[in-house]
Amino acid sequence: MDKASDLSIPDMPGISFSDGLARLGGNLKLYKKLLSQFYSSNTGTVDNINTAISNGNDKAAIILAHTLKGVAANLGANQLAAICTDLETALKQGRIAKIEGLLAKFSTEFTIVMVGISTFEKALALPETKAHDKVNMTVDRALLRPLFVNMAKMLENGMVEAMEHISILEDHLSDAGVQKQFQELKQDLDMFDMDSALINLKSIAMALEISLYED
């Protein structure tokens, strides 16, 4: 496992490297992977949230903001996570005037974070996405989402039942293009490392654009 001492990296614009790495137990390899996945999976997030709100689909916007909040917090993008929290709350309360202001802040901070990741890409040695590593985005998210949500609950509660549930997920993810991450998830479970398993589960869900936020 890469360690923070192996590479000196200052904080990125919009991201506290030290906070993000600490949340992942100092696992630099995993941190780099999550940064890379965040960048590649969220290029359309701002537009998606704006479109959802414009179409009156506040529920979809809330899910997007909630999901991004958790991922941003795990990466150390603390300001972005805080804005997502405020945006999620404003959407739930229907505070239209506040939503407009928060959307502007959200867009600005999100751009800062994305530019920060891009700028430090070489320093972080983020892996380039190869054609055969691309995620299959034709998976049935409606079918997979409840499986992911249940799995996340089990891992959060440290339930050993998660080890049985993993085989169900595996059957549905065989062609999803996330085999490497899934194998890491299984290894975490084999070692009863529920925290790392949950991080890997969230990473897979993010790559497949599956929200773990329960309605």
CA distance 86 to 35: 23
Q: Measure CA 213 to chain center.
A: 12
Q: What is the pLDDT of residues 36-71, one digit of tens each?
A: 888 888 888 999 999 999 999 999 999 999 989 988
Spatial distance between the Cα atoms of 47 and 99, rounded to a whole number of angstroms: 15
Mean residue pLDDT across the chain: 79
pLDDT by residue (tens digit) across 158-201?
776 777 778 777 777 766 677 777 888 888 777 777 777 777 78
Q: How far is CA 143 from CA 76, 95, 151, 163, in A?
A: 31, 33, 13, 20
Question: 3.90.245.10, 1.20.120.160, 3.40.1050.10, 2.60.40.420: which CATH number matches 1-128?
Answer: 1.20.120.160
User: What is the pLDDT, as a whole number, of residue 84?
Assistant: 95
Kindly list the distances between the CA atom of residue 145 and the CA atoms of 16, 67, 162, in Å, as whole numbers in the listed order: 30, 13, 15
Within 10 A of 123 (CB to CB), how many other CB atoms are there? 12
Which regions of 151-213 does DSSP assign to beta strands (E)? none
Q: What distance in Å separates the CA atoms of residue 91 and residue 94, rounded to the nearest whole number? A: 5
Alpha carbon distance 186, 54 (integer Å) = 41
pLDDT at 77: 93
Q: What is the pTM of this model?
A: 0.56
Domain boundaries, the chain: 1-128, 131-207
Contact 120, 32 (CB under 8 A): no
Beta pairing partners, 119: none
Q: Where are the alpha helices (DSSP H) in 1-140?
A: 17-23, 28-41, 45-54, 58-75, 78-93, 96-119, 121-124
- What is the band of 110 on the pLDDT scale with cuts at 50, 70, 90? very high
Note the pLDDT of residue 126. 46
One-letter amino acid for residue 179 of the chain: Q
Contact 1, 8 (CB under 8 A): no
**Could you give the 3-state DSSP secondary structure of residue 12?**
strand
Question: If we measure between CA atoms, which residue out of 45, 1, 14 comes closest to residue 119?
Answer: 14
Q: What is the largest CA-CA distance in the chain?
A: 49
